[in-house]
């Protein structure tokens, strides 16, 4: 060692590793985007070369930062791309699928690496956490619509909600992408007349052959039962009449993506025996559809930090550990307000009524034998989590929008401010209020007003990161807490959303209208506790209103 | 030791920031070397006459002008022709390594590398080259 102690350097390297892990999702985004471009552009050589370069870099840097899995997976991808480039040929279907599997595998590894790195106590600086969701791949929508203007306008509207939209004028033009991009939905406006309804069915058949998993959504200016029946027979998932009500279209799309997009079940496994814990984790992780995320804790005495960071949906707890009993840990968990309701399931090598009773009386919800068959384990955990999630959601969510309710939002603000203070981090709070909302209700009625509220809540959910906290504060007022984000950055993000929201066409009967919102932003540590943040954001919001609405204002300290 | 020149100044040519950062820590802090970083072959060719490094640590896959081309340019310029070069690359098959040596490199550091070890590896290559 020349200048510094080895320890000091090791600590520094550790920080660098974390920072690198924080940048990984951004790099995965680049790869995903490049892959999509490649699929959409008939294998343009420059995209292929670019993708190869991205994989190459990741392969080289991953293990250098200690993430060998990232390197290995990127390396496999790199090699496949390399042989493709040197063959000079367009890949066939099976090759494309193989590449796709590879990319998804890499994606998964990166997500896990990124998450695993958030659990440390050290500061995680992740200014580059992407604001758009990672899984753009699974949010592809294809519109087949002969009228280019109509197609464009529809694509734009859907695009605001975070979907990746491609438009084509006919099936033939869409053909390639239909096969390759596995769109979630295909929205099509197939013109048909009474005597030529078979045309619709045939077209639908062609689409189905190319994209089996995709759902068909028909748009039509007719709404009679005959047209609807034909749509059903053509295996249509939904039938919408024109002019299209964008909110209900997005409802359908969200439902479709929701099933693929459901938040994974987070299961924390506490067992001093690494092998047992691993076996369970692997069983859960290999369940179909990436249902589970797991975190293993072999030292139960270190439960506190990971508990809040991982925020498990369910805890699997070994009953017998060397230094502490499972029941004792369960009691500790139950004494934490935030985890009173999280299901705790005891694991044990033995069974017997007495043991099970003991487990339940000490705050556990269930009792599982460690040797339970895989499918039983998966099903019983899944059922428990589903139930507890729906109960929780009644407690903490707003009925109309599904966002956090007022109380819960405030609670989260307290928690996040405390956490951010501990890490000497930053965060911003944005208060959003829809402009002239009373007018919307008075003019178009409450059901329409409710749809406007829902569309804003959706837009916020789509455009913000999953780690951001979004609540409905009441009436037409929303609160957003953006973690690791300063006021300037928050301004940019919310202002983008403001512009997007103003361009959404809301539907009332045959009439279209648009709505705007105003927003005030305040950030920590400039305002250094929850209530002054809240007040400052509120004040900035009212300044934005005073200045003429439809704008975002940042709270300034000297005014207080 | 008569022929042995001390290794003090290193020039890193590497386009990727992630690698730049970690090499910098590894070589300056662990190895105790003086380090300058360039992001492209062109930049390196401009920097070498000024900085006069003892060694150039050269990434193979660089945008525009790749590592081997950069090395050829270095060799073609009498001002820097005798500067020693080590390649950094993920391609470390025996025939690939011998290719790099033929081009005039004194050794190869394989990517990915262990940041705690890279300084020592470079010192070893340097020593071997000096016939120690």
Coil, strand or helix at A345: strand
- pLDDT tens figures, A98-120: 888 899 889 889 988 887 776 54
Smallest Cα–Cα separation from A173: which of A146, A139, A196? A146
What's the whole-number mean pLDDT along residues A535-544?
95
In this prediction, residue A259 has a pLDDT band, given cuts at 50, 70 and 90, of: very low
Smallest Cα–Cα separation from A98: which of A41, A35, A37? A35
Q: Of the segments A253-267, A463-477, A484-498, which one has the largest average pLDDT value?
A: A484-498
B19 in A contact zone (CB under 8 Å) = yes
Q: Chain A: residue nearest B19 by CA?
A: A61
3-state DSSP of chain B = CCCCCCCCEEEEECCCHHHHHHHHHHHHHHCCCEEEEECCHHHHHHHHHHHCCCEEEEECCCCCCCHHHHHHHHHHCCCCCCCEEEEEECCCCHHHHHHHHHHCCCEEEECCCCCCCHHHHHHHHHHHHCCC
- Mark yes or no for CB contact A12/B116 under 8 Å: no
Cβ neighbours of A64 in B, within 8 Å: 18-19, 22, 111-115
Q: Chain A: residue nearest B23 by CA?
A: A64
Q: Chain B: residue nearest A66 by CA?
A: B114
- pLDDT tens figures, A349-366: 766 666 667 767 777 778
Do A136-260 and A265-396 show the same overall fold? yes
- Mark yes or no for CB contact B112/A1 under 8 Å: no
**pLDDT for position A428:** 96
Domain A406-559 has CATH 3.30.70.270: yes
What's the whole-number mean pLDDT along residues A454-462?
89
Query: How many domains are contained in chain B?
Result: 1
On average, the pLDDT of chain B sits at 89
* Residue appearing with tokens 């804790």: A297
**pLDDT for position A135:** 43
What dotted CATH number matches A17-129?
Answer: 1.20.120.160
- pLDDT tens figures, A246-255: 877 887 887 7
Q: Please state the CATH superfamily assignment of the domain spanning residues A265-396 in this structure.
A: Response regulator (3.40.50.2300)
**pLDDT for position A260:** 38
Q: CA–CA separation, A372 vs A276, rounded Å?
A: 12
Residue with the larger pLDDT of the pair B14 and A298: B14
- Mark yes or no for CB contact A2/B31 under 8 Å: yes
**pLDDT for position A55:** 94
Q: Is the pLDDT at A125 greater than 70, yes or no?
A: no
Cβ neighbours of B31 in A, within 8 Å: 2
Q: Chain B: residue nearest A70 by CA?
A: B112
**pLDDT for position A153:** 85
- Mark yes or no for CB contact B116/A13 under 8 Å: yes
What's the whole-number mean pLDDT along residues A36-65?
87
**pLDDT for position A112:** 83
Q: CA–CA separation, A83 vs A48, rounded Å?
A: 11
- Mark yes or no for CB contact A4/B29 under 8 Å: yes
Give this prediction's pTM. 0.43
What's the whole-number mean pLDDT along residues A494-510?
90
Q: Is the pLDDT at A136 greater than 50, yes or no?
A: no
- Mark yes or no for CB contact B90/A56 under 8 Å: yes
* From B29, B112, B114, residue closest to A60, measured CB to CB: B112
Quick one: what percent of chain A has pLDDT higher than 90?
24
On average, the pLDDT of chain A sits at 82
What's the whole-number mean pLDDT along residues A356-385?
79
Cβ neighbours of A13 in B, within 8 Å: 22, 25, 115-116
Smallest Cα–Cα separation from B60: which of B49, B71, B51? B71
Asked if the structure places residue B99 within a domain, the reply is yes
Asked if the structure places residue B21 within a domain, the reply is yes
Radius of gyration for chain B, computed over Cα atoms and rounded to the nearest angstrom: 13
Contact A514, A436 (CB under 8 A): no
Tell me the shortest Cα–Cα distance from A135 to chain B, in angstroms.
24
**pLDDT for position A1:** 42
Q: Is the pLDDT at A134 greater than 50, yes or no?
A: no
A130: DSSP letter: -
Asked if the structure places residue B15 within a domain, the reply is yes
Between A22-26, A47-51, A555-559, the lowest mean confidence (pLDDT) is in A555-559
**pLDDT for position A191:** 58
What's the whole-number mean pLDDT along residues B53-82?
91
For chain A, the structural domain boundaries read: 17-129, 136-260, 265-396, 406-559
**pLDDT for position A133:** 36
The fold of the A136-260 domain, in CATH, is Rossmann fold (3.40.50)
**pLDDT for position B2:** 41
Q: Is the pLDDT at A325 greater than 90, yes or no?
A: no
Q: Tell me, what CATH number does B14's domain have?
A: 3.40.50.2300
The range of the structural domain enclosing residue B78 comes to: 9-129
What's the whole-number mean pLDDT along residues A76-90?
90
ipTM, 2 decimals? 0.83
- pLDDT tens figures, A264-317: 789 999 988 877 888 888 888 877 767 888 888 888 888 888 887 788 999 999
* From A3, A16, A71, residue closest to B22, measured CB to CB: A16
């Amino acid at each position: 060692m020349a200048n510094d102690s080895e320890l000091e350097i090791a600590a520094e390297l550790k920080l660098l590793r974390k920072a690198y892990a924080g940048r990984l999702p951004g790099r995965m985004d680049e790869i995903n985007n490049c892959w999509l471009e490649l699929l959409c552009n008939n294998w343009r050589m420059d995209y292929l070369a670019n993708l190869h370069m991205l994989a190459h870099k990741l392969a080289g840097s991953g293990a250098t930062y200690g993430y060998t899995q990232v390197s290995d997976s990127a390396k496999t991808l790199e090699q496949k791309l390399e042989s493709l480039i040197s063959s000079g040929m367009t890949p066939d279907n099976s090759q494309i699928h193989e590449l796709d599997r590879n990319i998804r595998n890499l994606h998964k590894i990166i997500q896990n690496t990124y998450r695993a790195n958030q659990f440390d106590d050290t500061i995680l600086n992740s200014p580059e956490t992407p604001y758009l969701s990672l899984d753009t791949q699974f949010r592809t929508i294809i519109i087949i619509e002969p009228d280019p203007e109509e197609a464009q306008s529809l694509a734009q509207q859907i695009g605001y909600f975070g979907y990746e939209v491609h438009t084509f004028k006919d099936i033939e033009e869409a053909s390639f992408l239909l096969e390759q991009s596995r769109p979630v939905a295909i929205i099509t406006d197939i013109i048909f007349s009474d005597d030529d309804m078979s045309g619709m069915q045939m077209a639908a058949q062609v689409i189905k052959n190319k994209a089996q998993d995709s759902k068909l959504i028909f748009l039509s200016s007719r709404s009679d039962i005959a047209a609807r029946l034909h749509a059903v027979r053509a295996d249509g998932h939904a039938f919408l009449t024109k002019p299209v009500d964008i909110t209900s279209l997005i409802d359908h799309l969200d439902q479709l993506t929701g099933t693929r997009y459901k938040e994974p079940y987070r299961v924390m496994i506490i067992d001093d025996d690494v092998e047992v814990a691993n076996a369970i984790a692997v069983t859960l992780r290999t369940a179909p559809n990436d249902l589970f995320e797991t975190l293993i804790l072999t030292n139960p005495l270190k439960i506190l930090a990971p508990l809040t960071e991982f925020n498990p949906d369910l805890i699997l707890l070994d009953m017998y550990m060397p230094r502490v009993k499972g029941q004792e840990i369960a009691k500790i968990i139950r004494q934490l307000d935030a985890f009173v309701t999280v299901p705790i399931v005891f694991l044990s090598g033995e069974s017997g009524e007495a043991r099970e009773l003991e487990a339940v009386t000490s705050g556990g919800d269930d009792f599982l034998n460690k040797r339970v068959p895989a499918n039983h384990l998966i099903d019983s955990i899944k059922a428990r989590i589903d139930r507890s999630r729906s109960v929780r959601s009644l407690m903490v969510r707003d009925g109309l929008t599904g966002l956090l309710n007022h109380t819960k939002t405030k609670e989260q603000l307290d928690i996040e401010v405390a956490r951010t203070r501990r890490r000497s981090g930053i965060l911003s709070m944005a208060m959003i209020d829809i402009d002239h909302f009373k007018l919307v209700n008075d003019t178009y009625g409450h059901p329409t007003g409710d749809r406007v509220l829902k569309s804003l809540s959706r837009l916020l959910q789509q455009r913000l990161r999953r780690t951001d906290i979004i609540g409905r504060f009441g009436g037409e007022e929303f609160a957003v807490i953006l973690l690791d984000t300063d006021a300037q950055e928050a301004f940019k993000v919310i202002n983008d959303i403001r512009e997007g929201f103003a361009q959404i066409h809301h539907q009332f009967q045959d009439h279209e209208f648009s709505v705007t919102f105003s927003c005030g932003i305040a950030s920590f540590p400039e305002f250094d506790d929850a209530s002054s943040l809240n007040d400052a954001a509120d004040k900035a919001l009212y300044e934005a209103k005073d200045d003429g609405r439809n704008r975002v204002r940042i709270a300034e300290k000297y005014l207080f | 030791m008569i022929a042995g020149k001390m290794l003090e100044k290193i020039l890193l040519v590497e386009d990727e920031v992630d690698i730049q950062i970690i090499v910098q820590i590894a070589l300056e802090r662990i190895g105790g070397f003086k380090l300058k970083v360039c992001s492209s072959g062109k930049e390196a060719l401009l920097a070498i006459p000024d900085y006069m490094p003892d060694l150039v640590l050269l990434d193979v896959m660089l945008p525009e002008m790749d590592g081997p081309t950069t090395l050829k340019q270095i060799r073609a310029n009498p001002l820097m022709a005798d500067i020693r070069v080590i390649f950094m690359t993920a391609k470390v098959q025996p025939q690939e390594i011998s290719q790099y040596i033929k081009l005039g490199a004194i050794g190869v550091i394989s990517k990915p590398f262990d940041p705690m070890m890279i300084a020592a590896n470079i010192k070893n290559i340097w020593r071997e080259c000096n016939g120690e």
